[in-house]
Amino acid sequence: MSSFSEPVIAPRIGTGRGLRRLLHPVTPGLWLSVAILIVVILWAVAPGLWTGYNPVEGQSGNQLQSPSAAHWLGTDELGRDQLARLIHGARYSLSGALTAVGVGLLVGTLIGLVAGATGGRTDTVIMRLVDVLLAIPSLLLALSFIIILGFGHIQAAIAVGITSIAAFARLARSEVVSVRRREYVEAAFGSGGTFLGVVWRHVLPNSLNSVLAYAAVQFGWAILQISTLGFLGYGAPPPTPEWGLMIAEGRNYMTTSWWLTIFPGLFVIVVVLAANRVGRALRRN
């Protein structure tokens, strides 16, 4: 066993090895999921490269046209191309999901780190509050925060992120408690390391693998939650081409223009399933 005078080296996070294990062996379903996410990200980054139609301005005489060679997914009640709106809407759905996951990851990890590293009464009080948040349905909790923050795309994303803080905090706390008991952490304290220094250099980096993998899984859940809030009218306002809002706008024409709801709904389902598939693969590795 190393003496306390020797430098203490904590295990490094195997990012490269984890990526190689993710990609080998690769199933066709995983490749397809990765390809779908890449395409959607490209839509969000450069929508103009994929369509020449304006997503918010309709064309007179093109109202409620069924899918055709000119409009692959048809047009809506204002003559706007549905595919163009879906492509431009990727920016809102992905940016909202990233914001939500970022809020949950940063705040939840910080809370879990404090609870797991300090222990005692602090840990007990924090985790009881976390249990209370976990007991409240996420959609109801998101709606409560939207009432406080106001309606809008960013407000909806932040509200969804707040609802995920408790789950991130519980996972981070369990990882921190596990790492905190390992020999190299005790050796770091014994060799004169300060509490904050050991937590920052050894405990936090080696607790992040599972938390980051969980964040990948939460990405698909955040897209679904934001789309749900948009469908209920609490997200981006019209004429924003947000996926949930598009489904809500098309339900009035469900009997005559089925493509207004079917295609946006399928897009949400496919992207969420792809994100969950990639997230599960990352979590396994």
pLDDT of residue 3: 36
Q: What is the pLDDT of residue 4?
A: 33
- Give the DSSP letter string of the chain: ---TTSPP-PPPP-HHHHHHHHHSS--HHHHHHHHHHHHHHHHHH-GGGT--S-SS---TT-TTPPS-SSSTT-B-TTS-BHHHHHHHHHHHHHHHHHHHHHHHHHHHHHHHHHHHHH-HHHHHHHHHHHHHHHHS-HHHHHHHHHHHH-SSHHHHHHHHHHHTHHHHHHHHHHHHHHHHTSHHHHHHHHTT--HHHHIIIIITGGGHHHHHHHHHHHHHHHHHHHHHHHHHT-SSPTT---HHHHHHHHGGGTTT-THHHHHHHHHHHHHHHHHHHHHHHHHH-
Domains and CATH numbers, the chain: 37-47+80-284 (1.10.3720.10)
Q: What is the pLDDT of residue 8?
A: 40
pLDDT tens, residue by residue, 90-146: 999 999 999 999 999 999 999 999 998 888 888 899 999 999 999 999 889 999 999
Q: So what's the pLDDT on residue 255?
A: 86
Task: Enumerate residue ranges in the chain where pLDDT < 50.
Answer: 1-16
CA distances from 232 to 78, 169, 206, 266 (A): 21, 28, 40, 18
Question: What integer pLDDT is reported at residue 87 of this predicted model?
Answer: 95
> What pLDDT score was predicted for residue 183?
76
Query: What's the predicted TM-score (pTM) here?
Result: 0.83
